[in-house]
Amino acid sequence: MRIAVKLAGVRVDEDGHIAGRDAGATLVRRLLRVFPGAQVIGDGPRHGDGFDVVPLGFVTGSDTIVVNMDVLDSLHVWDVLHATCEEPHIMNFVWWSTSEVTHPVQRAELALSCGLFPTFANSEHTAIEVHEVVDALTVRQVAAGARIGWVNLGFRREHVQPRREPEVPVVLYPAIYLSERKRPQLFIDIVERVARRTPIVVEARLHETHLIRELAMDLSSRRWAWVGPLTATREGYWEALSRTTAFLATSREESYGLEYVEALAAGAVGVFPDLPWARDLLPPTYPFRYRTAQEAEAMLLRAVTDTAACRAELDVCAGGDFAGWLQARHSDDRFDRAIVDHVRDWFGT
């Protein structure tokens, strides 16, 4: 059996590499690393660097497991493959929050897809959401047969670079989109108040489609803010994190939060909303969780003016070694092993 990864809009550059620094493209690259020789379903056919791009209609359903990141269309994928084989093999990969799917028809599609096909989630938080949707919107027989697994995505420890403390504290906008769910206006309001009290530099690296948004231009007009495109390379991304002092998370909901975890691993002090998705990422006694904007302002101010003491508190909340706690709970090695094990358990290969 071979693996074929499906993600709508995936692009391959002239050198045959998966293009883009967004979460979807990053995860496709990770799956290709975990499953050497896997195919990518997309416009083609063509050869990539170590993989082939093939249209869905060219996939041999009898000996291919489709890891579908476009979970809502798994029934369509099954229909296409079923035309040439009796039992297509499809595994959903839910790597986004189910709360993003709001239309009743699409939520029903999501529930049926995750009830009928084995589903792997990018975190326990997402897996719980999937269970809830399946239980609420499918009949008892479908819900009872649902197979749902999960593991935290995690980060690669070898990517972490030595700290390079900046002369002026750097505060990161920890997202590449200015989506309403991320509450970017709340982020701007809080960091603006902190900037009035102490020197900081705010950095926001945004997807090209969000660089031209009004909020991006509004933020870039502040003398203490820098707004620009995503880093061109993974090395550049980690280099930027190595000199980041703190970040302020304002998102209402996240499926996991890989950028937050990576920033924490790089030594940044993270200030989080006291919400379930954030509590799932952090030690139970993590000290920098806020309930109000005023609390967030106070925590962020302390993170940029008393950074060493804040980092010491992180070690205390994690039993003496915050970096070690992160690595143990958010290891990409665990992700690699878990997704391979689930494929083996669900498909016998």
Looking at the predicted structure, is the pLDDT value of residue 44 above 80? Answer: no
Note whether 90 and 171 are same-domain residues. Answer: no
Furthest CA-CA distance within the chain:
67
Domain of 271, CATH number, reads 3.40.50.2000
Note whether 248 and 305 are same-domain residues. Answer: yes
Note whether 204 and 144 are same-domain residues. Answer: no
Beta pairing partners, 3: 65
pLDDT of residue 349: 75
Note whether 204 and 245 are same-domain residues. Answer: yes
Domain count, the chain: 2
Domain that holds residue 60: 2-154+331-347
Note whether 281 and 227 are same-domain residues. Answer: yes
pTM exceeds 0.85: yes
Sign of the torsion angle spanned by Cα atoms 224, 185, 102, 258: positive
Note whether 298 and 342 are same-domain residues. Answer: no
* 156 or 178, higher pLDDT: 178
- How far CA 142 is from CA of 114, 120, 133, 198, in Å, comes to 9, 17, 12, 56
pLDDT per position as a tens digit, 188-208: 999 999 999 999 999 999 999
Q: What phi-psi label fits residue 7: left (phi over 0), alpha (psi between -120 and 50 degrees) or beta?
A: beta
Tokens encoding 147: 């197979």
Give the alpha-carbon dihedral of 272, 233, 231, 258, to 10 degrees: -20
pLDDT per position as a tens digit, 130-146: 999 999 999 999 999 99
pLDDT per position as a tens digit, 262-274: 999 999 999 999 9
Looking at the predicted structure, is the pLDDT value of residue 261 above 90? Answer: yes
* Sequence letter at residue 227: V
* Sequence letter at residue 133: V
Note whether 118 and 242 are same-domain residues. Answer: no
Note whether 206 and 282 are same-domain residues. Answer: yes
Cα 219 off chain centre by: 24
Note whether 99 and 168 are same-domain residues. Answer: no
Note whether 10 and 133 are same-domain residues. Answer: yes
CB atoms within 10 A of CB 52: 15
Note whether 149 and 195 are same-domain residues. Answer: no
Instruction: For the chain, give the number of residues.
Output: 349
Looking at the predicted structure, is the pLDDT value of residue 160 above 90? Answer: yes
Note whether 161 and 249 are same-domain residues. Answer: yes
Domain of 15, CATH number, reads 3.40.50
